[in-house]
Structure 1
Amino acid sequence: MRAKTTIERQYDIVIVGGGMSGICAAIAAARHGSKTAIIQNRPVFGGNASSEIRMHICGADVHGSRSDARETGILEEILLENRRVNPQMSFSVFDTVMWEKVKFQDNLDMYLNTHMTQVETTDNKIVKIIAEQITTEKIFEFKAKIFVDATGDATLAYLAGAEYMFGREGKAVFGEKDAPDESDDVTMGSSLLFKAVDAGHPVPFIKPSWANSYTDDDLAYRGHNEITSGYWWIELGGDDTDVIADGEVIRDELLKAVYGIWDHIKNSGHHNADNFVLDWVGFLPGKRESRRVVGDYVLKEQDCLAGKIFDDAVAYGGWPMDMHVSGGIRTRLEPNLNIQCDEMYTIPYRCLYSKNISNLIVGGRAISASHMAFGSTRVMATCAVVGQAIGTAGAMAVEKGVMPRDVNEYIKELQQELLKDDCYIPGFKNEDAADLAKKAKVTCSSFVEGSDGQNVISGVTRRVKENTNCWISSEMGDTPEWIDLAFDCKVKVKEIHFKFDSNLSKELMPSLSHSVLSRQIPGIPAELVKDYTIEFYSDGKLVQSLAEKENYLRLRVYKLPAPVECDDIKVVINATNGDKHARIFEVRVY
């Protein structure tokens, strides 16, 4: 019998898990110079946002109901790329967008269909992990300085012996007023989604013999008027069945529920569904909750409700504490309770690494949070910005030769790097001493009241309450609008960065839901600058220029092939993607 050969791989950072948090962590780590691997045991990236599950990416904007709150950074880059190539909002094409982002990123290797089977630790430090690629029958041994758990279930942390929490903490544990009276092992359940299409003619549906039956009374608290897609409340597990150990049983029971719900919609006679037919039914449950790794700090309900700004903040959230009923669809109760967060809150770095495994960083829904706080932090856009934070932190740890906990000593540097990369941290602004733009005299062709050119060096890159923090020109006419940065001496420019306006009050993500998609404005956000020229002057003479056409991204970074000596930089806006005003949140010069 031929034995399988183990292939050894050495990296700076190994990330296990390829959901939104994992891919954002991997891209960030690689871009910051670390040799990185991402290991994903599915054939596609995206986790709950992939074509296998098809959940839309929610976050602090709460489906667009909180203005100027959408997450930026790598997630925004991915969603804008998707808008450009995938106007039909196909989840399969979205899979390809995410694959492309990972596949063609320098410093990053991907291992799809690769399942971690073993973790070896010594002295509370991960030494290596073993994983098998099921499509090639190859066995890999991965060694790294830093490991990142983005598995969702905290599988890497669990196998490494990290401290973790499971279930609901009682009121006395963290002093949370909305927690259950006593602690238990109950978690939120898992869901299967479906999609239906209008066939244009009546189509019968014969209920499978194994499917459940539901009456209007059974579904009294579960809205199902939108019949083209559904439904997050088709939820089971976490009470008498363990969402991890009983995952296959839960999947089978969810299938019975999905087909039973569809039978009710089709055959009860009052949903106008005669012409509708099932087009897709998920076979991989979308999981909400399992293990949560204990870090140096546990985020709590009080932090979320107070909109707390931590000194070591590196990410933020704002989704309600969305607490699902134990028992899911088997109950005749409201399926969830939303405890609103009046303000966005920050997530401290101390929640993002293991308390007892020294080289383990944690992302996604497994961060150090109580069950109550987890109800908010678990959504994918929040997980994505956490992912970018931990990827950046991991690369910083590698660069400085320290463990993840020691990055606390460089927390201001980490925060500034995240802001530079277009992450938002409420309460923090650009204080990068290397940014030459902060010393420039800014003038502009025109502006609307409250949005003059000085805003491009304000240090904040989105509207916050009454402050636009954006240069917004008067309505564009036949002549271009421009903004100018003049220096009192010659400067050598190696890089110039722009953060444009992509309308952070509107959603961008793919969705199965017609109602969610109908609230979106199709195409590239109109507010984004489209065509522009960057002009470098020295003593009034143009020495170099760069022209950009068809821009569709919010963050643009230009690394010049050779330093340009100049005393003035002028950005000329020739066109937007449809808006009447030129808009720029930030200009940085290095």
Structure 2
Amino acid sequence: MTHHDLHSDFVVVGGGLAGVCAAVAAARNGARVILVQDRSVLGGNASSEIRMHVVGADVHGRRPGARESGLIEEFRLEDACRNPQRSYAQWDLLLYEKVMAEPNVTLLLDTDCTGCAIETVDGLRCIRSVTAVRQSTEDTFTLHAPLFADCSGDGRLGVEAGAEFTMGREAKADFGEDLALDVADRHTLGSSIMFTARRHGTPQPFETPAWARPFDATAFRLRPIEGYDYGYWWLEWGGQHDTLKDNPAIRHELLRIALGVWGYVKNSGRYPESAPWALDWIGALPGKRESRRFLGPHVLTQQELQAGTVFPDTVAYGGWPLDLHPPEGIDAPNEPPCRHILLPHLYGIPLRALCSRNVGNLFFAGRNISATHVAFASTRVMATCAVMGQAIGTAAALGRNATDGPIAAHFTGAALQQLQQRLLRDDAFLPGIRHEDSADLARGARVTASSETALGPAAQVTDGWTRELRSDFGPWADGNTHRWESATLPATLTLTWTEPVQIAEIHLTFDSGFTRELTLSASEAANRRIIRGPQPELVRDFELLLDGVVVAQVAGNRLRKRVQRLPQAQHARELTLRVSATHGIDHARVFEIRVYSTAS
């Protein structure tokens, strides 16, 4: 083995969506990052190895407007345009590209975290370095940094560091949750193996392997077989076992189940329309829903999610239902495969639930955050995990020079406000928290437009919000559109100052169609609601002018958030955005314009 000592500001263990977003957010905010991933691809349960579609607060589009913004929106928009054929391999490559494009990120694929060095300072454990091994190249690593994150799902780094955690389901008496059990147990949600199938022009036989599980109609009374292209999330099993130590046995049983269910579809005679369908791919890895949950200074609970709580230290949000499954999965045929308890509002996720209560410099994001089993049933979905990752990555970049002590304690007062405002600047959404960045020159400008609608006055581009605040989001939501809408195209929007200001960087936030779901899915049924291409609301072609002189021209934009950095800062009294075309609609929509005197 060849040994390497690497130094950075932030080490992230785990390359699912939470880890990718943590690494990219930290890097874009100036931190040097090492991202450790134990697989050959990034994306975790969203990758080509497992192929679960990414869902979140918009509940498969059933809560319009709540779709996550920030990095996950950037990735989804790019994927929709570059991958209309819905290839999971292309999604893998997009995530790889996003990470490799950041010069501040060192990516270690096929690399396992194997331990860490701990120092105790004033009674608080602190990680000083992480050890890792890449067997395929016979390399070992010691990774040094002031801050670390466990985004690994199963929590390998946190366990090695001695971070306090829990597993299983709490009792009602533990947190006063009425959806909890009367008596606590160690059971979790189960895991699933997904498969895809392809339609052919002729009948396709399927010989069920002898080792597959046999099924009859009683297994599907509460689990209807609908469609053959992508199956089936309810092929779930193993939560009654240890999803860590028993994972090989769980994997084998899930393969038996998947093959047995497909054999029933093809050979029972109950689904004659399945005749031309043949298996195209079956996962070799279980998509794991639950194992360890770390304990932070705050533990999220059922009551907080159902109340739509917005915390003082909110840095992310969720909105997926409380989605509870029987641990036995398909072995509980008389129980529904899930219970969806819809949440009336969006809820905040506090930073105190994203860091360890006994390891001072350890963040976490993903399914392993500080939440009860019932609350985790909502926070676990991947778009929510992604926005948590962006939150902790941004926190790590801003807090990398903090002295020893609990990292959550560093983010109070001005430091917390700075973190929240930086997240908003980077297109994150925080329930109930408005953009109040004093460095934004646009807040002091007069805003006019060539035309506007009654629902989209031009002045809304500087009102501090970057999406329509639908009333079901929470009591803080006012129901306004918070965007400029022109009446026609072409259209112009102009910011005017009383005196010339120095302009180096201009931020534009466009409408990307949050009323619809946007995700990569192998399901034809899900894809009918999704536009696989540029979103029609997006501004496509535009110019920026300072005092009437064009300083930037963009054709073919397909992103919601654009940051235009001028080659050299200029002084001007007037900034004009001239929109000439969108990707479909007949008017311009802009949520926000920011203007900064220095480049970030």
Tell me the TM-score normalized by structure 1. Answer: 0.97
What is aligned with 2:474? none
Q: State the SS of the aligned residue for 2:500.
A: strand
Q: State the SS of the aligned residue for 1:587.
A: strand
What is aligned with 1:265? 265
What is aligned with 1:323? 324
Q: State the SS of the aligned residue for 1:510.
A: coil
User: Offset at 1:399?
Assistant: 4.2
Q: 1:490 aligns with which of 500, 504, 511?
A: 500
Q: State the SS of the aligned residue for 1:381.
A: helix
Q: 2:118 aligns with which of 118, 121, 141?
A: 121
User: Offset at 1:475?
Assistant: 3.1
Tell me whether 1:18 sits opposite 2:15 in the alignment.
yes
Counterparts of 2:422 and 2:115, CA distance in 1: 34
User: Offset at 1:154?
Assistant: 1.3
Tell me whether 1:428 sits opposite 2:405 in the alignment.
no
Counterparts of 1:218 and 1:359, CA distance in 2: 47
User: Which structure 2 residues correspond to residues 294-373 of structure 1 after superposition, within 5 A?
Assistant: 294-332=295-333, 333-373=335-375
Tell me whether 1:158 sits opposite 2:159 in the alignment.
yes
1:409-439 alpha-carbon deviations (Å, 9 max, x no partner): 2111110000000000010111001100011
Q: Which amino acid aligns with 2:6?
A: R
1:204-228 alpha-carbon deviations (Å, 9 max, x no partner): 1111000011111111111212111
**8 Å contact kept, 1:462–1:585:** yes
What is aligned with 2:148? 147
User: Offset at 1:408?
Assistant: 2.0
Q: 1:78 aligns with which of 65, 75, 78?
A: 75
What is aligned with 2:565? 559
**8 Å contact kept, 2:230–2:523:** yes
Counterparts of 2:17 and 2:496, CA distance in 1: 40
What is aligned with 2:578? 572
Q: Which amino acid aligns with 1:417?
A: R
What is aligned with 2:461? 456
Q: 1:535 aligns with which of 545, 550, 559?
A: 545
Q: State the SS of the aligned residue for 2:145.
A: strand
1:457-516 alpha-carbon deviations (Å, 9 max, x no partner): 01000001230001011133xxx2010000011100111100000011212211111111
Q: State the SS of the aligned residue for 2:220.
A: coil
Counterparts of 1:351 and 1:561, CA distance in 2: 41
**8 Å contact kept, 2:83–2:532:** no
Counterparts of 1:544 and 1:340, CA distance in 2: 49
Tell me whether 1:468 sits opposite 2:481 in the alignment.
yes
What is aligned with 1:287? 288
**8 Å contact kept, 2:360–2:404:** no
Which sits farther off after the overlay, 381-390 or 445-454?
445-454
Q: Which amino acid aligns with 2:91?
A: F
After TM superposition, the runs of 4+ consecutive aligned structure 1 residues lying more than 6 A away are: none
Which sits farther off after the overlay, 395-404 or 270-279?
395-404
Counterparts of 1:551 and 1:522, CA distance in 2: 15
Q: State the SS of the aligned residue for 1:426.
A: coil
What is aligned with 1:407? 410
Q: Which amino acid aligns with 2:339?
A: L
Q: Which amino acid aligns with 2:452?
A: F
User: Offset at 1:407?
Assistant: 3.1
1:264-310 alpha-carbon deviations (Å, 9 max, x no partner): 11011121111110000001100001111100000000011001111
Which sits farther off after the overlay, 394-403 or 24-33?
394-403
Which sits farther off after the overlay, 267-276 or 315-324?
267-276
Tell me whether 1:501 sits opposite 2:511 in the alignment.
yes
Identity between Structure 1 and Structure 2 (%): 44
Q: Which amino acid aligns with 2:590?
A: I
User: Offset at 1:543?
Assistant: 4.4
RMSD of aligned alpha carbons:
1.0
Counterparts of 2:494 and 2:34, CA distance in 1: 42
Counterparts of 1:482 and 1:517, CA distance in 2: 35
User: Offset at 1:544?
Assistant: 4.6
Counterparts of 2:553 and 2:573, CA distance in 1: 19
What is aligned with 1:130? 131
Q: State the SS of the aligned residue for 1:185.
A: coil
**8 Å contact kept, 1:393–1:407:** no
Q: State the SS of the aligned residue for 1:116.
A: strand
What is aligned with 1:550? 556
What is aligned with 1:512? 522
User: Which structure 2 residues correspond to residues 199-278 of structure 1 after superposition, within 5 A?
Assistant: 199-239=200-240, 241-271=241-271, 272-278=273-279
Equivalent pairs, count: 579
1:540-585 alpha-carbon deviations (Å, 9 max, x no partner): xx34521110000000011222111000000000000111110100
Counterparts of 2:155 and 2:144, CA distance in 1: 19
Which sits farther off after the overlay, 38-47 or 118-127?
118-127
Tell me whether 1:584 sits opposite 2:594 in the alignment.
no
Counterparts of 2:275 and 2:83, CA distance in 1: 30
User: Offset at 1:402?
Assistant: 5.9
**8 Å contact kept, 1:31–1:106:** no
Counterparts of 1:232 and 1:583, CA distance in 2: 37
Counterparts of 1:182 and 1:262, CA distance in 2: 37
Counterparts of 2:403 and 2:437, CA distance in 1: 23
Tell me whether 1:446 sits opposite 2:451 in the alignment.
yes
Tell me the TM-score normalized by structure 2. Answer: 0.95
Counterparts of 1:36 and 1:326, CA distance in 2: 37
1:348-398 alpha-carbon deviations (Å, 9 max, x no partner): 111010000011011111111111100000000000000000000011111
Counterparts of 2:532 and 2:75, CA distance in 1: 16
1:118-159 alpha-carbon deviations (Å, 9 max, x no partner): 222121111211111122111111111101000001111111
Counterparts of 1:268 and 1:414, CA distance in 2: 57
Counterparts of 2:274 and 2:118, CA distance in 1: 56
User: Offset at 1:451?
Assistant: 0.8
Q: Structure 2 stretches of 5 or more lacking a match? A: 471-478
**8 Å contact kept, 1:190–1:286:** yes
Q: Which amino acid aligns with 2:592?
A: E
Tell me whether 1:93 sits opposite 2:93 in the alignment.
no
1:228-275 alpha-carbon deviations (Å, 9 max, x no partner): 111111111121x21000001000000000000001110111211111
Q: State the SS of the aligned residue for 1:173.
A: helix
